[in-house]
């Protein structure tokens, strides 16, 4: 069985953060959140990391991300652009919004020939999640079975504002339904609510876009992309997105896959808003002081 590769979605611009948040240093050693994710991935067993970036990021990305880690893991990168569409399709006039996470992962398809994991570039997932996902993927022999790192919703909130999470319903350790839910935050009464005021119970499992897929998922994304363009984009040409949780949910509803939930108690950290940076910086300083990470990751 081929070893799983890791695909890192790093092409998005952080509009709420107000800049290219993927490159924002969060330690005194100029490390970024992505350094910690890749460090944990390597320690878990991943030997090949593919980054999906925008062409205008290339020089900065090579200098800031690839150079420090190139002696520790095989790395490569591919470009994602809105013009990467099937023959006969074009970008709707006036659209500037990227096509979504499925489209980002599809940009790496020529470099994938086996199972692959997927993460966001601006999220800290924790050591436990990487180990569980890697171990599951290396042991899994069923092309129809995927996996997902499952986080407790209370461990994924931002103190600075609402967030979007994939709320999961599970049964016997497997996902039965995923609902992409916006506006999640802790209310004034201490309860967790969504944008419509519905309460979300503590301990509810959410997806943070940390997936483990077989080759089947890539085949499904490629084949379904024209359907998305014909239907979703036709209905909402400026904002429709081809999203991983949504497409996994469709496969689940059609009985075409199973998704094993690999629960982790680790706390998520991310810079969704500018104000998050100070909290994240302090968290990593404490993790280094406790010995969880070395003072300089890529020695």
Q: Report DSSP state, residue 155.
A: G
Tens-digit pLDDT profile for the chain (299 aa)?
A: 789 999 999 986 444 334 455 577 889 898 989 999 999 999 999 999 999 998 888 888 898 889 999 899 999 999 999 999 999 999 999 998 899 999 999 999 999 999 999 999 989 999 999 999 999 999 999 999 999 999 999 999 988 889 999 999 999 999 999 998 999 999 989 999 999 999 999 999 999 999 999 999 999 999 999 999 999 999 999 999 999 999 999 999 999 999 999 999 999 988 777 778 888 899 999 999 999 999 999 98
Within a domain: residue 299?
Answer: no
Within a domain: residue 200?
Answer: yes
Cα gap 239→89, rounded to integer Å: 16
Within a domain: residue 295?
Answer: no
pLDDT for 60: 84
Question: Among 120, 288, 53, which Cα is nearest to 129's?
Answer: 120
Q: What angle do CA 51, 52, 58 make, to 5 degrees?
A: 85
Q: Report DSSP state, residue 161.
A: B
Q: Report how many helices (DSSP H) and strands (DSSP E) the chain contains, helices first.
A: 8, 12
Within a domain: residue 35?
Answer: yes
Record the pTM: 0.93
> How many structural domains compose the chain?
1
Domain range enclosing 98: 5-289
Within a domain: residue 298?
Answer: no
Within a domain: residue 91?
Answer: yes
Let me know if 298 is exposed, middle or buried by CB neighbors in 10 A (0-12, 13-18, 19+).
middle
Residues 6+ apart with CB under 8 A from 98: 11, 12, 80, 82, 104, 241
Cα gap 288→35, rounded to integer Å: 13
Within a domain: residue 244?
Answer: yes
pLDDT for 16: 39
Q: Which two tokens stand for residue 296?
A: 């300089």
Within a domain: residue 205?
Answer: yes
pLDDT for 57: 83
pLDDT for 12: 67
Domain of 200, CATH number, reads 3.90.550.10
């Amino acid at each position: 069985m081929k070893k799983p590769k890791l695909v890192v979605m790093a092409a998005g611009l952080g509009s709420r953060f107000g800049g290219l948040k993927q490159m924002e240093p969060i330690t005194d050693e100029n490390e970024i959140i992505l350094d910690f994710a890749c460090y944990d991935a390597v320690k878990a067993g991943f030997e090949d990391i593919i980054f999906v970036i925008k062409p205008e990021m290339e020089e900065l990305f090579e200098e800031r991300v690839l150079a420090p880690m190139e002696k520790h893991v095989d790395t490569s990168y591919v470009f994602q652009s809105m013009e990467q569409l099937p023959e006969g399709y074009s970008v709707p006039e006036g659209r500037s919004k990227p096509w979504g996470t499925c489209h980002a992962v599809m940009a790496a398809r020529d470099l994938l020939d086996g199972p692959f994991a997927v993460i966001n570039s601006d999220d800290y997932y924790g050591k436990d999640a990487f180990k569980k996902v890697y171990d599951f993927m290396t042991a899994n022999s069923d092309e129809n079975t995927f996996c997902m790192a499952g986080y407790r919703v209370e461990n994924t909130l931002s103190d600075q504002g609402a967030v979007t999470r994939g709320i999961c319903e599970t049964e016997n350790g497997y996902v039965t339904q995923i609902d992409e839910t916006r506006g999640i935050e802790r209310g004034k009464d201490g309860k967790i609510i969504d944008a419509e005021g519905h309460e979300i119970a503590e301990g509810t499992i959410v997806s943070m876009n940390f997936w483990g897929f077989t080759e089947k998922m890539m085949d499904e994304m490629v084949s379904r992309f024209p359907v998305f363009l014909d239907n979703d984009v036709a209905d909402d040409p400026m904002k429709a997105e081809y999203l991983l949780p949504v497409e996994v949910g469709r496969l689940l509803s059609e009985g075409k896959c199973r998704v094993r939930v690999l629960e982790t108690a680790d706390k998520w950290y991310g810079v969704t808003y500018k104000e998050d940076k100070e909290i994240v910086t302090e968290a990593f300083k404490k993790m280094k002081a406790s010995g969880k990470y070395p003072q300089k990751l890529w020695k």
